[in-house]
Structure 1
């Protein structure tokens, strides 16, 4: 018993815990994973934050870091599917709404997109995607009044899935600003082929120290025209594969392995790898016989490069420096400049790129690449060669940069790449003798993922 304010006794009421509907919904299995996916999607699309940073296990999004690994894997699958198909998902949702969502309903739009990606493109029970999306709407005061709308739209999406998929199949899976640039550069048909190719996850390719055929047999892989290995689909982690601990190979997309190979034998040559991390190209240059100096601006990236070379049992001089200010004690015989770029050729493995970058980024990076190339040429001996490359699909970051430098630098000439040295990739050699791969190239046998990253590479010689 307790006393009233007048001193009289009153009965003690039994205390009961009250759990709100929103709290109960948040406790549902799978809710936290979908909520994390929705938050990260908003960060990528609205705030232009890179997906890799959000999914970093140490420094990533707090909601993602709080999850168990199974749920983290689900978040990654949801985000990759959503970002790869976002224009189609938005069209599917828009087609089921009587009127567009209010301007301030961005959070709700992301909830719907995450659920729609599961229904349309992932092996997730429709009812789970729908129920948790409704709970997400109820959990957010801004979206609570739309909970019934979420339920109705997503249930209809599930019922009419096959018809909707056929209807949206003709919609390009890239944002309009980038598709327009591709069409101007490559033509409508090629642009559509590139757009469609990025809907599939990238293959896992390996570069090997030696004997690619033997390692392909050991790892159930395929030897590629780039002399690396493509793995068939497998369920384990990369470190579990034979040869990883021994440093017999490293992961490197087939296209990314091309620029370093253009030099051929580098025995006795003094070689610079500029913008060198994470070190795959550095390893190639070392194995080609070069005495390699690897330059990176970031100490963190230098540490990563050293760690990767240590696993491979390879040695290079490593320097942390601002490349625009870097001046070596002695000029180089060969230089690889794999320059920072918009990374639009890597959308199969980084589907966020087209949502975090824009035309202004491409223009800014193209200007940076030109500055870096012009400075790198001053580090080259007369008669020396330089390969300029990057993983952008946009010619303004590749062909146009090289054309401007050649036009006003008479001491430099282009070395044409011989297509006959690249059987299976002849279509990637341009009329100027430069490499230009696109993700729709490189057909492979059944059982292996086709394609490769979009890459540009040109080889130049200093003649005086």
Structure 2
């Protein structure tokens, strides 16, 4: 296979991935078929990059076309502009392959000339691309965020989404990785790289976990020797944290497939936990736990900088269903803890309705329930992380260090 045919195959794979997300409404990672190895990895990376910059590409294209082209042609143009301006690809090769991609389908062959003309008029205009603002979040998400965090903060969040995310690792105690920055939270941060090729991967010295996601376990304090329940545990980052800290962990999740990931991660790291497949709303333990961690299902909007497909897959209806589930899971989690034991509730959401509002509501319906407000400085966080009853992290925090995922977390306690 020639280099050109390989590049065409990869770029055709990107187009399939974009259609998988934008037309089929499915997650990006579920659509990597027809390619393998390095080609699949490159296609996934380019598809994510195109989704991240799609709004900017559309804005640039709007000034060159009087009407929208065919859907596939629009995606070809989006991909080409993203490759040139964000991936550093040579314009000549990108334009040639874009034209070839248009010609590959009878539905778009007649627009190959349009693709050629539009791209040749844009690929040298770096200044126009750089002047474009970050893409706006969809209205269902942007409106409540602007109300909650103010317009300037929202724009800072959108800018953080555009920058993407570095690679964060949670190490076992005492483990270091050459070249990694040690964040104030203890997370090891690298600019990126192939995970399985990093030193310590095969030894199970660490696991991939955003700095924000690693904080809820730390809110529990010393857990050595304690019985700790990790609810909605998959894929197991917090389970491994707890096990590495010496806790006796029960990892519960409703999905057998996702629990396989937990088991695989535990095996790689040489850590142990009891794995339970069950619905937390129906399950009953033999005895109360010394601590409970509930990372509740949510819109995952706090992870958009890592998953640019999410804004295209969620809508306001998801928020309503998920907040109802969170309400029920909080009530259930409180029954699993012995009196006075900590119950950490957290969500990787940007929306207060999936965070602060949930805790406020729980305090109102459970007499005697208290919420501890952790001190941000204790975890190396700025005062901006203070939020009602807990910690609120948004992607614009630590911008100079590469940002952090959006998360809310709080420590609840029933009367002792």
Category of TM-score, reference length = shorter chain: over 0.9
Q: Is the 8 A contact 2:160 2:399 kept in 1?
A: no
Q: How large is the RMSD of aligned CA atoms in angstroms? A: 2.1
Secondary structure at 1:256 match in 2? coil
Equivalent residue, structure 2, for 1:81? 49
1:274 to 231, 234, 257: 231
Kindly state the Cα deviation for residue 29 of structure 1 after the two structures are TM-superposed: 4.2
Aligned residue runs from structure 1 range 296-445, under 5 A: 296-430=253-387, 432-444=388-400
Deviation at 1:443, TM superposition (A): 4.7
2:165 is the counterpart of 1:202: yes
Q: Distance in 1 between matches of 2:222 and 2:85?
A: 50
Q: Does 1:47 align with 2:24?
A: yes
Consecutive aligned runs of 4 or more in structure 1 exceeding 4 Å deviation: none
Question: What 5-or-longer segments of structure 1 have no aligned partner?
Answer: 1-24, 56-60
Q: How does 1:158-197 map to 2 (within 5 A)?
A: 158-159=123-124, 161-167=125-131, 169-197=132-160
Question: TM-score of the superposition, structure 1-length normalised?
Answer: 0.84
Output the CA distance in 2 between the equivalents of 1:250 and 1:239.
10
Normalising by structure 2, report the TM-score: 0.94
CA deviation after TM superposition for structure 1 residue 268, in Å: 3.9
Note the alpha carbon deviations across 1:39-70, whole angstroms, 9 max, x for none: 21011012211011113xxxxx3x3x3x5x34
CA contact (8 A) 2:373 2:391 kept: no
Counterpart for residue 34 of structure 1: 11
Q: CA deviation at 1:174?
A: 3.0
Q: Please state whether the residue corresponding to 2:242 is helix, strand or coil.
A: helix
Gaps of 5+ in 2: none
Q: Given that residues 115 and 130 in structure 1 are in contact (C-alpha distance below 8 angstroms), is that contact kept between their aligned partners in structure 2?
A: yes
**8 A Cα contact 1:277 1:301, kept in partner:** yes
Instruction: Find the aligned partners of 2:203 and 2:143 in 1 and give their Cα distance.
Output: 46
Asked if the contact 1:84/1:173 (under 8 Å) is kept, the reply is no
* 1:223 has 2:182 as partner: yes
Aligned-pair CA distance for 1:232: 4.4
Q: Would you say the 8 A contact 1:112–1:150 is kept in 2?
A: yes
Report how many aligned residue pairs link the two structures.
415
Q: 1:109 to 1:240 in 2, by over 3 A?
A: closer
